[in-house]
Amino acid sequence: MPERNRRTVYSTDPESERAPTDRPTQQTPPPRQQPVSVGIERKGRGGKTVTVVKGIQGAPAALDKLCKQLKGRLGTGGAVKDGVIEIQGDQRDRVVQMLVEMGYKAKKAGG
């Protein structure tokens, strides 16, 4: 990089002094140690039903990966919001079955 394009950047954040490899990474516990609840929600969604998977711990990348697997096997849409996986439609039974096959302790929640 040419010398004229370099700029010194100052920060007051003590975390910035550490190298990126020194920062602790969030480890994902094994699936069998994670109690997962699978429920449905309709409120605030314009009457649409959404399957909600709560209780999965770990890095956001692991949640995204699991959400993608569930969406692919179910053939539906979905997203990860605030650490909760949301799958379109009432898919509770199928999601619980898939999570149990993956080794999670999954239970249906709600009516």
The domain ranges of the chain are 28-108
pTM: 0.71
Q: Residues 23-77: pLDDT tens digits?
A: 555 566 777 778 899 999 998 888 899 999 999 888 889 899 999 999 999 999 9
Which own/partner pairs from 37-46 qualify as long-range (CB within 8 Å, at least 24 positions apart)?
Answer: 37/106, 37/107, 37/108, 37/109, 38/92, 38/95, 38/96, 38/99, 38/106, 38/107, 38/108, 38/109, 39/92, 39/108, 39/109, 39/110, 40/90, 40/92, 40/110
Which residue is listed with tokens 């379109």?
Answer: 88
> What pLDDT is stored for residue 69 in this prediction?
94
Does domain 28-108 bear CATH number 3.30.780.10? yes
Q: Residues 64-77: pLDDT tens digits?
A: 999 999 999 999 99
> What pLDDT is stored for residue 18 in this prediction?
59
Higher pLDDT, 36 or 12: 36
